[in-house]
Amino acid sequence: MKAVVLKRAGVVAAEEVPIPRLKADTDVLIKVHVAGLCGSDLHYYRGDADDGSFVMGHEVVGTIVEAGSEVKQFQVGDHVISPFSVSCGSCFYCDKGYTSRCTSNFCLTGGQAEFFRLPLADSMLFPFPEELPEDVALLMTDILPTGYSCAYNARRLLDEDADAPWSLADLKAGRVERKGVAIVIGCGPVGLCAISSATTLFETVFATDLNASRLAVAEKHGAIALSASELKDAVLAATDGRGADAVLEVVGHGSALNAAFEYVRPYGAVSSVGVHNLKFEIDGDTLYSKNVRMQFGRCSVRTFFPLALDVLKNNLELFKSFVEHKVGIEEAEEYYKLFNEGKINKTVFVMD
Amino acid sequence: MKAVVLKRAGVVAAEEVPIPRLKADTDVLIKVHVAGLCGSDLHYYRGDADDGSFVMGHEVVGTIVEAGSEVKQFQVGDHVISPFSVSCGSCFYCDKGYTSRCTSNFCLTGGQAEFFRLPLADSMLFPFPEELPEDVALLMTDILPTGYSCAYNARRLLDEDADAPWSLADLKAGRVERKGVAIVIGCGPVGLCAISSATTLFETVFATDLNASRLAVAEKHGAIALSASELKDAVLAATDGRGADAVLEVVGHGSALNAAFEYVRPYGAVSSVGVHNLKFEIDGDTLYSKNVRMQFGRCSVRTFFPLALDVLKNNLELFKSFVEHKVGIEEAEEYYKLFNEGKINKTVFVMD
């Protein structure tokens, strides 16, 4: 089969490789229809990988062509999609819905190929939501649930002391009303997903980005998008001088987080899904004096999949524009290069 | 009347000053029975005060001898106690129970005197809990509710995604079961209050302190108290290798907070009531990779008063030992000096 193989740092090639075989009774083999090229593929591309070449990719839509004997929820012929993060469905963390920290978690690879072996199929796959185009649906493997979880965590922290606390089931049943003023810091793809999600949970959503060209599209997603210099006064005016009830940080940089602490009101919530991998300085006095509450970390995609799916369906035309390039797998080398250089946005590999 | 007057940085004196007069219809005048000497009095003592001498103190038990015309809930002759932090009872924050961030908040002074003018009496005072000795009850003005809130916030963050979320009312009604493994970092007075409180909310409570002499008393309060070098392995053994469900940080230093991030499990809770007033470095990768959730800040004493009171009543003999010295106001100069030099613990001024 054809596959995108990482040869060494900075070099991928479309090559013929053997079709993978099932390794466990809980595996399935998927005939891939579309596979996304994701920002996190670039970590490997830039050299952050073990030795040895391997097939890239973890965003996949396809059809099951072989299923292990222990796969009970799916069968050959099923049209399926899967979160990017491996979860077993039964460990301490999966039990609580914290699938991103499943004790069996590891990084999926192998998706940018004609066939893809997926482990733990029963606790990984969702039936494909047939009302969606396959390329757009790839947003459901990661960034739409990630944006949603950022908004959810903020609202959750904010309401934790409510007289009548709500559960995820209440939210799914539509029993949680929009409330409060949120700011989204960062208007890249994940930020836009967070904005569309936040408009379902907060009454007013502001957004900001250092890159002014991103503000117009943030407005289309439902935010009042302002430059950093305009934002603070506008938020104070909207909150009787208190500051934002919640700040959603999707940048993954200490400066964005410190801006969040500046914008948030006392006892407000700061929710961060930005991938932080550096040390940074924070001001203990601000955290203490504002009684800040926070949630960090990687989204448990599986838990937020249904709610994020509603956001995608309700904003389909907007999200269609996220997919910039649809190309064949043989063009992988060029598109990895362009993506790595920041010259293009989302690319989807379409199989024959 | 006699009062402890701050003359200038490093100098207090027991002096004759005029008895205060009511300034607002919501004020009361209290004949003081006992007044605590508190660590935060030392901020003023060490020079962190505006110009001009004033009467020190904000921990008071006494009897109302005069009440403004708008005071409805209390009357002359009532035996009362008050949180240290001023709250109006009706602003955005007080409405939510976040009294420590009341928009009318300011620092009370004037309590170390024979008479004390207390503002906003209706939203400040509690009837004195008569089953308690007055000197021990002073712990209720600050550190016992502060320790309680630290434990509460941790448990609250931990349960925020529960299928059946609970409210403060559920907790007061005894409908929240003890669950999980917590660590208390810091075994000074607030830490001991946090430990006794945490044992009502968590199944297992570990505690640690750099000062080994504090560990024995932490054990008396119900913790498994270990040195830093022993703690990590013990907690991993108690949690199937995951790490602590919650870490309570009462030290107020970046190093203690970073230790908390190290001990906590993924999706665990870090609750901090330590007074942080410095900048410090944190590791973004740890926060992201562990999906850490946190709550910082000053306790809303009023909200946690009833629950903390139960902790005090149920551990009265232990907490009696917190009061080390009971002296007359004329000895203030000496006891401030000894306290400032770290030579003594809690002192209570007893009026004639």
pLDDT tens for residues B130-182?
A: 999 999 999 999 999 999 999 999 999 998 777 778 989 999 999 999 999 99
Q: DSSP characters for B19-62?
A: PP---STT-EEEEEEEEEE-TTHHHHHTT-S-SS-EE----EEE
Say yes or no to pLDDT of B51 above 70. no
Q: Which of B163, B288, B295 sits opposite A297 (nearest CB)?
A: B288
Q: How confident is the model at residue A49 (pLDDT cuts 50, 70, 90)?
A: low
User: What pLDDT is attached to residue B170?
Assistant: 92
Give the span between the Cα atoms of B14 and B32, in whole angstroms: 15
Looking at residues A278-291, what average pLDDT do you find? 94
Res. B49: pLDDT tops 70: no
Rounded-to-integer distance, Cα B259 and Cα B263, Å? 6
Rounded Cα distance between A201 and A183, Å, is 12
Token readout for B55 is: 């009467």
> Are A191 and A316 in a shared domain?
no
**Domain total in chain B:** 2
Residues 6 or more apart whose Cβ sits within 8 Å of residue B71: B25, B26, B27, B28, B121, B122
Q: Mark whether A165 and A103 lie in a shared domain.
A: no
Residue whose tokens read 């054809």: A2
N- to C-terminal Cα distance for chain A?
A: 11
- Residues 275 to 294 of A: which have CB under 8 A from any B CB? 275-285, 287-294
User: What are B183's strand-pairing partners?
Assistant: B206, B247
Rg of chain A over Cα atoms, rounded to whole angstroms, equals: 21
Residues A12 and A77 in one domain: yes
| Same domain for B120 and B105 | yes
Please report residues of B whose CB lies closer than 8 A to that of A157.
157, 160, 293
> Is B200 part of the contact surface with chain A (CB cutoff 8 Å)?
no
pLDDT at B309: 98
Q: Which of A272, A296, A320 is the last residue of a domain?
A: A296
What pLDDT does residue B53 have?
Answer: 85
User: Nearest CA to A296 among B264, B202, B198, B153?
Assistant: B264
Domain boundaries, position B284: 144-296
**pLDDT attached to residue A173:** 94
Closest to B1 in 3D by CA, of B39, B35, B26, B47: B35
If asked whether residues A195 and A78 sit together in one domain, one would say: no
Q: How many Cα atoms are found within 13 Å in the side-chain-facing hemisphere of A34?
A: 25
Tell me how far apart the alpha carbons of residues A152 and A315 are, in angstroms, rounded to a whole number. 18
Spell out which residues of chain A touch residue B93, defining contact as CB-CB under 8 Å.
266-267
Q: How far apart are CA B221 and CA B194, in angstroms?
A: 9
All residues of chain A having their beta carbon less than 8 Å from the beta carbon of residue B241 are: none
Task: Give A216-267 pLDDT, tens digit per residue.
Answer: 999 999 999 999 999 999 999 999 999 999 999 999 999 999 999 999 999 9
- Per-residue pLDDT, A51: 65
Based on the fold, state whether residues B167 and B276 are members of the same structural domain: yes
State the greatest distance between any 2 C-alpha atoms of chain B, in Å, as a whole number.
63
Answer whether residue A50 shows pLDDT above 90. no
Q: Is B258 on the interface with A (CB under 8 A)?
A: no
Give the H or E element holding residue B185. strand B181-185
Q: Å from B1 to nearest chain A CA?
A: 35
Query: Which of A255, A275, A296 is the C-terminal boundary of a domain?
Result: A296
- Whether B96 and B129 map to the same domain: the answer is yes
Ranges A178-182, A252-256, B67-71, B151-155: which has the least confidence? A252-256
**Pair (B221, B171) in one structural domain:** yes
Question: Does residue A282 surpass a pLDDT of 70?
Answer: yes
| Cα dihedral value A264, A266, A272, A276, nearest 10 | 90
Domain boundary among A262, A278, A296: A296
pLDDT given for residue B50 in this prediction: 65
Distance CA A121, CA A334 (A): 32
Residue reference for tokens 């024995």: B216
Taking the C-alpha atoms of residue A10 and residue B227, their distance in angstroms, rounded to an integer, is 48
Most confident listed range (A27-31, A212-216, A275-279): A27-31
Q: Is the pLDDT assigned to residue B87 strictly greater than 90?
A: yes
* A142 contact partners, CB below 8 Å, separation of at least 6: A38, A59, A83, A84, A299, A301
pLDDT at res. A331: 97
Distance from CA of A229 to the nearest CA of B (A): 24
Q: How far apart are CA B165 and CA B212, in angstroms?
A: 38
Q: What is the pLDDT of residues A75-97, one digit of tens each?
A: 999 999 999 999 999 999 999 99
3-state secondary structure of B127: strand
**The domain spanning residue B275 has which CATH number?**
3.40.50.720
For chain B, the helix, strand and coil percentages under 3-state DSSP, each to the nearest 5 = 35, 25, 40
Q: B352 falls in which pLDDT band (50, 70, 90)?
A: confident
HEC-encoded secondary structure of chain A? CEEEEEEECCEEEEEECCCCCCCCCCCEEEEEEEEEECCCHHHHHCCCCCCCCEECCCEEEEEEEEECCCCCCCCCCCEEECCCECCCCCCHHHHCCCHHHCCCCCECCCCCECEEEECCHHHCCEECCCCCCHHHHHHHHCHHHHHHHHHHHHHHHHCCCCCCCCCHHHHHCCCCCCCCEEEEECCCHHHHHHHHHHCCCCCEEEEECCCHHHHHHHHHCCCEECCHHHHHHHHHHHCCCCCEEEEEECCCCHHHHHHHHHHEEEEEEEEECCCCCCEEEEEHHHHHHCCCEEEECCCCHHHHHHHHHHHHHHCHHHHHCCEEEEECHHHHHHHHHHHHCCCCCEEEEECC
Mean pLDDT along residues A40-66:
88
> Do B42 and B134 share a domain, yes or no?
yes
Mean pLDDT of B288-302: 96
Q: Nearest-CA residue of chain B relative to A296?
A: B291
Residue B68 in this model has a pLDDT that exceeds 70: yes
- B258 with B233: CB under 8 angstroms? no
Question: Is A197 within 8 Å of A177 (Cβ atoms)?
Answer: no
CA distances for B352 relative to A162, A274, B329, B330, angstroms: 45, 60, 9, 11
Give the chain B residue whose CA is nearest to the CA of A291: B297
Give every CB contact of residue B141 below 8 A, 6+ residues apart in sequence.
B36, B58, B59, B60, B81, B82, B83, B84, B301
Same domain, A86 and A158: no
pLDDT, tens only, B99-117: 999 999 888 899 999 999 9
| Chain B closest-CA separation from residue A161 CA (Å) | 7
**pLDDT band of A163, cuts 50, 70, 90:** confident
Q: Is A106 on the interface with B (CB under 8 A)?
A: no
Q: Can you tell me the ipTM of this complex?
A: 0.94
DSSP B161: T
pLDDT over 90 (residue A200): yes
Considering CB atoms only, which of A156, A161, A276 is closest to B96?
A161
The model's confidence at residue A23, banded by pLDDT at 50, 70 and 90, is very high
In this structure, are B308 and B281 located in the same domain? no
d(CA A301, CA A291): 29
* pLDDT higher than threshold 90 for residue A198: yes
> Which residues of chain A lie closer than 8 angstroms to B146, CB-CB?
none
Tokens of A205: 């959503």
Instruction: List the CATH number of the domain containing A53.
Output: 3.90.180.10
Q: Give percent of chain B with pLDDT exceeding 90.
A: 88
Q: Which of B167, B275, B292 sits opposite A163 (nearest CB)?
A: B167
Please tell me whether residues B52 and B87 are part of one structural domain. yes
State the average pLDDT for chain A: 95
Residue pLDDT, tens place only, A130-149: 999 999 999 999 999 999 99
Answer whether A254 sits within 8 Å of B284, measured CB to CB: yes
Mean of pLDDT values over A24-30: 98
- Take residue A80 and report the two structure tokens written for it: 């399926």
Task: State mean pLDDT over A270-287.
Answer: 92
B175 SS3 class: coil
Above 90 in pLDDT, residue B277? no
Residue A28: pLDDT over 90: yes
Q: Is A69 exposed, middle or buried (0-12, 13-18, 19+ CB in 10 A)?
A: exposed
Burial of B103 (0-12, 13-18, 19+ CB in 10 A): middle
